[in-house]
A and B are shown apart, each in its own frame.
Chain A
């Protein structure tokens, strides 16, 4: 059953691209909506509460290559939600029908890649699906073919290739020691030869590759350029799910696999904290809206890294929850920025102004997203940040805990600056003609805001049933 997650989209792409006389281009949009909804439903179907069997089952279509557990479920839901948002925004942003068709193909391929990452059980297969996601992202970033997008693609490509090399060397070394690359074999090898130098070196290399893919300091150089120069739907997809799946989900999986080692935890904590600070301080001085949101993403990813670095169950739980929340509210903010870009025609915050009266729904949902990012109760962001701060305190990392608390205030600071500049300043001359954005933007923004509010309000139910069971991945 699980293989359907990757088989249905592939089958869909083949059907879409058949050489009919009148190619089914108009249906491609609705077909993609169907595919992503099916993905969310399949993920839910496998979940015990909703009637599926016990998780951590294996699938036998591909020779036992797939499995799903509680963490995968959360990320699969995120993939479905963010892909749907990106799809809706693409429909209203890309004008040409032929271009839209190609873009929809790319979104479906990216979702195949990410679903594969999430349900893979073997290190090399994980790497293959990472590459699929990366290649599809290259093309999506360069979709508009203007020089800035190409520059963003170039930087991402170079760094992604270096990450590839790191990860491949690491996998080859693991093959040397463990004789096989599936997760179970690696765990066996770790039990027998715990501090083999080759193992430690290859784990370190693999983590370095993941840091590059996830945009964690000091490898975050490509992220602001790629996010800001990419077309609007690509930015939503990248910020909402691609970077996080490729970098952070795999990091969690590796930590669950390799066990928490004190030195590795120390490295992750250090770089996570540095990411938070670098992202927050750089975000405050930005003029371009999307660039500021990109630096804010670096900052939030640092939070998730802090949660992972604690090594405790509570930290992992907080990290997974913050991953979900960040997908939702960052996608919300990027959808709104796409709406503003389309309506006001510019990304520079200095030349926007007083959009509050002209784009009321965008403004309200932005405020909700921003408050959730800053950690304001009772929105979802508050709970996940609280868990991470508490987990850090509990694990004895008092310094990092206060840093995380302080950084929450920084987050609110730069978002307030953004709000003031865009929505509440005196209107410019060219802000006269701005109207509220189209249906697609508004609908997506409202749904995402509702998810954030709902997650925050229904937190107790959420926590016990969906988030706490993640602890099983840490028990080997």
Chain B
């Protein structure tokens, strides 16, 4: 794990611990939308900048999948007339995402690839933890809870895929 990965993980955990107790559906919606958007932003950068073709393909997959999940989340929020409400966790995610992209922009080649993939591993692990400990247990609307349960396996698949790429990049060192 690189430094930016640790920093982002710290931010995410800090945000989650603050709001875990009193989180509502509008706040959960904001967290879901932000969590997906920050990975779309990082993916869009990596899809063009990564040196390794497998990393570029993975990045493009993150853009496609997280955009699709966000579209479903926004459609559901609109249907339920829930306006996503910013909160400590969504703000921490946004700040973490911006810092990650800024840090990545300073890198290139294999260093960029490793930093991006390391961050993806941390990010997906943290979002899974948030889904399991905070978002799914606290979602009160049945459809919102069902959406979170439905997307969870995609985050698991992304995490495992990122770990596989992380391992293959280490072998190239």
Report whether chain A binds chain B: no
A interface list, Cβ under 8 A from B: none
B interface list, Cβ under 8 A from A: none
